[in-house]
Amino acid sequence: MRTLTIDQVDDLALGATLLGTGGGGDPYVARLMLRQAINTYGPVTIADPHELPADGLVMTVAVVGAPTVLLEKIPAGTEFIASIEALASYLGRDPVALMPIEVGGLNTLLPLAVATEMGLPVIDADGMRRAFPQIEMTVFTLAGIKCSPMSVADEKGNLCVFETNTNQLGETLVRGAVMSLTLANAFSSYSMTVAEVEAHAIAGSVTYCTELGARLSAVQRGESGAYDRFLEFAEGRVIFSGVITDVHRETTQGFSKGTVTIEARDGTERSMKVAIQNEFLVAWENDRPVVTVPDLICILDAETATPITTETLRYGQRVNVVAMPCAPEWHRDGMLEVVGPKAFGFDLDYVRVGA
Amino acid sequence: MLRLGMDVGGTNTDAVLVDDEGQVMASHKAPTTPDPLDGISAAISAVSVVADVSQIRRAMLGTTHSANAIIQRKGLGRVAVLRLAAPSSLAVSPGADWPDDLRQSVISDVAIIEGGYEYDGRVIAELDEAAVRRFSEAAARSGALAVSCAFSPANFEHELRVAEIIASELGDDFPVSLSHRVGTLGLLERENATILNSALLQVSRAVVDGLNNALRENGIEALSYITQNDGTLMTSQQALEMPVLSLGSGPTNSMRGACSLAGLSDAIVVDVGGTSTDVGILVDGFPRESAAAVYVGGVRTNFRMPDLISMGLGGGTIVRTEGTGVAVGPDSVGYRVTEEALVSGGEILTLSDVSVAGGRLTGFGDPARVEELDSSTIEQSLLWVDEHLASHCERMKASRQAMPLLAVGGGAHLVPGRVPGTSEVIRPHHYEVANAFGAAISEASGTVDRVYQYGSSSREECLESARAEALEAAVAAGADPGQARVTSVVEVPMTYVPGGGCRVQVKAAGPLGD
């Protein structure tokens, strides 16, 4: 086992912002929570599956709610512990480790803050290694692992535990519970054994995220050769460079949808459109799809290498569009039904980075 | 009636005297003094000699005093911080993200107590009034109290109740800053701004007293105002309570001054100083506001500040030759350009020298001293300037449509005659003191900030009555009734259920009347 110290929090947060692919929730508050938790309870213990008992229980913990509410209602910390304890009590076993459901966006950092307070390790794995908007969009769903039973808790002692037959219905019930519990809550789900984590989860994603953030940070500091080292590590490529010439947004059914248009400034007529549904999902160059989900599309400010989120897209920004392959663990039967372009309503086939 | 506009910037202190017709009668520009109040006093003397001082009846000051106090950690007061949100929010303490030195010098005590609201208007918990009374001792030790509260922009009863309790414990005069008066949604950012407001109270007192003394010494009996971030005025009495609202007024003044001097309401404004250039955009005569979090001295806030891009490009920016190329800035000789630039008899190659050699700047220093300058150095440096200005202007634009560019500030000579993406480059008369002129033409404003029940009357009726009241308040604050208009309407829904309340903030503004 190893420890994640306060010095690595900023790299982890930067990596999480990048893997948020434009969404995933701003890790700002989660970063402050993790810093406070490490200062109070000590560094976070990170474990690989083989360092834990194979039959030990692991569960995920995350924040769920409306982003605008989370701006005002900062977590207490206790709601996460309550959701974990409720699920443990329901299952009749205590967890030996916690796990992020998604390494991408704010839910990357949050389990680490909770784990150090509870004195538990965080298992170095997750279910997405990017951000997705719905709970069932995990590699666990591909492996037939249920998110049920699940628990939702608030900071005042209100909580519920429930079971569902499908992970899709689990998503629906969590949203319903959160509507009644003031839109800023904790939820725990996807309880499984360490052996199941080892067999099915995306391995090493917390470390990957920290390393990725460290390499992007080097780019931001302007270190020579850093962009190449960053892309090499991410197995990514810059698929387009240009200026944002249009940002179109609409909010439908609670999701923020839209498109961003980027035009080249190299004398050619090339342009790129990127579809937004909370995250960046599909990139077209001159109307030809060049990358789709589940591969990652990230937009970086061309000068500062700051990952640009869907809320901060603006006309005139000079940007690089970076595409990165999704974690190899995604490439299993059923992937396209769960997180392919059609799962988001696009009548498109999956286009891999570099295809 | 004459108006006296003043602007204290990092490099220069400017003043203008403006008549009824908006014409500049006198202007003055001098380096900012170590105690900025000395420079203000000197500037007032310099411009007021041309007029009958009894005619100067309004004096407006925009100043970097507050921003500098925060950046330099000087003159800040100690603040006790009370947050009403428990049991929520305990995972992030007040001041958690502040730079250590600033937190240690400003924040004395913090407490998160029960109170605050949910998004739908229900309480998170009833306000723990006993805890407020207990915390009043810490507040008394600090000398100032900042109060934040979950969802207070929509529901501020708990914050008002805390102010009442503190007044009963520590007296009506005890300074309490309430977050709903300072900022909008975003608890941590609003709380930060509220703490800064409390910390700046003494700085603000010194500025207001200094301004009023300087006016008196020059025999001027004028109403004194401080300019706010949004381009409107606070009376000096209001400035004593809400100093944080003036933190970013410099760029606003400069942009509004530029637009008025040029007689335009929509333009890109490029303000070139001695050290840096700000590029902003004017829409309907007011700066477009930033959507991103604004950091002040390392503290994240959610002020409504002009959306600006700054770059290290100014008249004093140092140019170095490297082999056959040049490296421009980002360092600058600043206001010492009048001594250290080559044309000033100094030894340092600056962008002002390049501008003289390239024919953009005339009447500054001795052109003979740059005659020997390598023509490739001149060309490359000016190309660097032109490319950076063009790219920043492009980034500021909201559409591909070309807009006019207004070049202002002491370094405006560096802006070329044509900038790609802009329809024309205008250097308005008195462009070098656009910021002080912007202060002089700042408007009086009035606000309404109230929760309306849309269920009982229609939304349009509520907004109409709020608009009317804001206009009345602006007129009461001195705005000309014929020219006052509503400048912003912000609605914050208190609840997501039908028939629920909505916080409505309406601001009206107009030029000062007689």
Mutate to test the interface with B, among A32, A39, A72 (most CBs of B within 10 A): A72
Q: Which of A232-246, B135-149, B331-345 has the lowest mean pLDDT?
A: B331-345
Comparing B401 with B276, the larger pLDDT belongs to B276
Task: Read off the pLDDT of each residue in A126-134 and give the average, rounded to a whole number.
Answer: 96
**What local confidence, expressed as pLDDT, does residue B455 receive?**
67
Q: In chain A, which residues have their Cβ closer than 8 Å to the Cβ of B188? A: 29, 32, 74
A130 contacts A292 by C-beta, under 8 angstroms: no
Q: Which of A76-90, B331-345, B365-379 has the highest mean pLDDT?
A: A76-90
The total number of residues written for chain B in this structure: 514
Is B116 a residue whose pLDDT tops 60? Answer: yes
Residue B399 contacts A, CB cutoff 8 Å: yes
pLDDT tens by residue, B66-83: 888 888 888 999 999 999
* pLDDT tens by residue, A95-118: 999 999 999 999 999 999 999 999
Selection from B413, B411, B510 nearest residue B470 by Cα:
B510
Nearest to B211 by CA among B384, B393, B83, B36: B36
Can you give the pLDDT at residue B164? 98
pLDDT one-digit tens code per residue, B184-201: 889 999 999 999 999 999
In this complex, is the C-beta atom of A304 within 8 Å of any C-beta atom belonging to chain B?
no
Chain A partners within 8 Å of B110 (Cβ): none
CB nearest A69 (choices: B97, B119, B395): B119
β B56-63/B2-8 pair status: parallel
B60 touches chain A (CB under 8 A): no
Provide CB contacts within 8 A for A193, sequence distance 6+.
Answer: A54, A55, A56, A57, A58
Confidence at B291, pLDDT banded by 50, 70, 90: low
In this structure, the strands spanning A2-4 and A44-47 are antiparallel
In sequence order, what are the beta bridge partners of B414? none
Distances (CA, A) of B89 to A37, A116, B150, B178: 13, 18, 9, 18
What is the least distance, in Å, from the CA of A29 to any CA of chain B? 8
Q: Which amino acid is at A344?
A: F
DSSP characters over B143-188? S-EEEEETTTTT--HHHHHHHHHHHHHH-TTS-EEEGGGT--S-HH
Of B85, B91, B120, the CB nearest to A77: B91
| Residue A211, C-beta contacts closer than 8 angstroms, at least 6 positions apart | A11, A15, A233
At A284-301, the pLDDT tens digits run 999 999 999 999 999 999
Which residue, A353, A330, A352, A287, is CA-closest to A141?
A: A330
Q: What percent of chain B has pLDDT above 90?
A: 60
Distance of residue B190 Cα from the nearest chain A Cα, in angstroms: 10
- Is the ipTM value over 0.95, yes or no? no
pLDDT in tens, B352-361: 999 999 999 9
Which H helix or E strand runs over B497?
Answer: none
At B372 the pLDDT is 86
- Which of A151, A252, A210 is CA-nearest to residue A10? A210
Q: What is the pLDDT of residues A179-209, one digit of tens each?
A: 889 889 999 999 999 999 999 999 999 999 9
Q: How far is A180 from chain B (nearest CA, A)?
A: 11
- The shortest CB-CB distance from A36 to any of B86, B92, B398 is to B92
Distance of alpha carbon B10 from alpha carbon B31, whole angstroms:
9
Q: Residue B91: its chain A contacts at CB < 8 A?
A: 33, 36-37, 74-77, 113
Q: What is the pLDDT, as a whole number, of residue A77?
A: 95
Q: What pLDDT score was predicted for residue B131?
A: 98
SS3 A192: strand
Mean pLDDT of A122-151: 96
Residue A336 touches chain B, beta carbons under 8 Å: no
CA distance B93 to chain A (A): 8
First to last CA, chain B: 8
Query: Do B188 and A29 count as a contact with CB atoms less than 8 A apart?
Result: yes
Whether A212 contacts A19, CB under 8 Å: yes
Considering only the beta carbons, identify the residue of A32, A182, A315 that sits closest to B398: A315
Work out the percent of chain A whose per-residue pLDDT is above 70. 98
Whole-angstrom Cα distance, residue B382 to residue B384?
Answer: 5
pLDDT of residue B98 exceeding 70? yes
State the best of B395, B396, B422, B494 to mutate against chain A, taking most chain A CBs within 10 Å.
Answer: B395
Total residue length of chain A: 355
Q: What is the pLDDT of residue A70?
A: 86
The residue-averaged pLDDT of A38-61 equals 98
Highest mean pLDDT: which range of A226-230, B183-187, B225-229, B272-276:
A226-230
pLDDT tens readout for residues B231-250: 889 888 889 999 998 888 88
By percentage, how much of chain B surpasses pLDDT 70? 97
Confirm if B492 and B452 have CB atoms less than 8 A apart: no
Asked if A66's CB is within 8 angstroms of B92's CB, the reply is: no
Cβ contact (<8 Å) for A74 and B96?
no
Query: Which pLDDT band holds residue A256 (cuts at 50, 70, 90)?
Result: low
Exposure string of B21-53, with b = 16+ CB inside 10 Å and e = fewer, is eeebebbbbeebeeebbebbbebbebbbeebeb
Q: Which residue has the tokens 């699920």?
A: A87
Instruction: Give the one of B89, B391, B400 whose C-beta lies nearest to A76's C-beta.
Output: B89
List the single residue in B151, B292, B397 with the smallest CB-CB distance to A316: B397
pLDDT tier at B496, thresholds 50, 70, 90: very low
Q: Give residue B493's pLDDT.
A: 67
pTM above 0.95, yes or no: no
Average pLDDT over residues B201-229: 94
Q: Are A273 and A260 in contact (CB under 8 A)?
A: yes
CB contact (8 A) between residue A71 and residue B185: yes
Q: Phi and psi for A39 in degrees, rounded to 5?
A: -65, -30
Residue B501 has what pLDDT?
Answer: 67
Average pLDDT, chain B: 90
B149, β-bridge pairs = B84
Check whether A157 has a pLDDT greater than 90.
yes
CA distance A199 to chain B (A): 34
Retrieve residue B419's tokens: 């900038």
pLDDT classification of B158: cutoffs 50, 70, 90: very high
Structure token pair of residue B431 = 């462009």
How far is Cα of residue B460 from the mean position of the Cα atoms in its chain? 32
Tokens linked to A220? 């931001």
